[in-house]
Amino acid sequence: MENTEGISHTGFHAGSFSVRDETRVAAQAARRRVRIMSATLHQPLPHHEPVAAPAARLALKTDGTSRGLLDGAWWPRSRDLLSELPALTDVLDPLWGHITRIAVNPKYWPVIPHEIPVGGHVVKVGWFTPEIDPHKLLLLSYGTGRWDLLVIPPETGAESAARLMAAASDHDGPPLTASALIAADETRRAVSAADRPLEPDEAGKYEGGPSSAAVPAQTGRVSRLIIGM
């Protein structure tokens, strides 16, 4: 009787040890699976090199003291001053000194922030109407000077933009306002689309005659700095 109880008791304890071993092995396997899943879920993201912002598209007058009503033309890619102004100041700061303030007419700018961080400093932004031409950007550099740029609408085609840049930055070009240059080019494109013969006075206006607006006469000297085109 005693021997039977001893065998039964020994078998019971042996079975108990086996259950604990299996439980321990299962727990270790579960921990391994968790570690593998964690490593899979938290793989480091691939490193991407930062993409440089496109250069500003500009044409600037470079010589002469008589600058007229405009100092050049700027062709932004959007009407977002926060994203467009840093690229513009990257070009202008080395040429003109730090741009500290700009002013625009709000007609074509949906959002006008008070300040825009650019290249290690901040540009203050203001808006005025009707003092500022809707198609012009006014820039100020503290202690250096003021410049006025024609703002070519972002949706403008490359051919028209090139004409407007030439007109705004030509040293001997006509002293027209920014809006007058835009209107002249729109008229020129409308005439081209209609494909009708030009009257003599119109031919002089659009083909570089004395009253040329959108296509200034060529002077044979380099009078502009073209950037980003």
How far apart (Å, rounded) are the C-alpha atoms in residues 84 and 103?
14
**Residue appearing with tokens 């993409």:** 51
Taking the C-alpha atoms of residue 151 and residue 134, their distance in angstroms, rounded to an integer, is 9
Convert the pLDDT of each residue in 62-97 to its tens digit. Answer: 865 556 789 999 999 999 999 999 999 999 999 888
User: Backbone dihedral region of 72: left (phi > 0), alpha (psi from -120 to 50 degrees) or beta?
Assistant: left
Least confident range of 33-37, 153-157, 186-190: 33-37
Distance between CA atoms of residues 185 and 187, nearest Å: 5
154: burial class by Cβ within 10 Å (0-12, 13-18, 19+)? middle
How far apart CA 23 and CA 165 sit, in angstroms, is 80
Higher pLDDT, 154 or 173: 154
Task: Give the percent of the chain with pLDDT over 90.
Answer: 45
Q: What is the pLDDT of residues 188-229, one digit of tens each?
A: 888 887 755 545 554 343 333 333 333 343 444 456 788 876
Query: What pLDDT sits at residue 53?
Result: 63
Q: According to the model, what pLDDT value does residue 11 have?
A: 44
46-60 pLDDT tens trace:
554 545 567 899 999
Beta strand pairing call for 145-151 and 136-141: antiparallel
Average pLDDT over residues 98-104: 95
Is the distance from CB of 89 to CB of 141 less than 8 angstroms? no
How sure is the predictor about 98, in pLDDT bands with cuts at 50, 70 and 90? very high
State pLDDT tens for residues 127-140.
998 889 999 999 99
What confidence score (pLDDT) does residue 21 get? 67
Distances (CA, A) of 180 to 59, 61, 135, 142: 18, 18, 9, 29
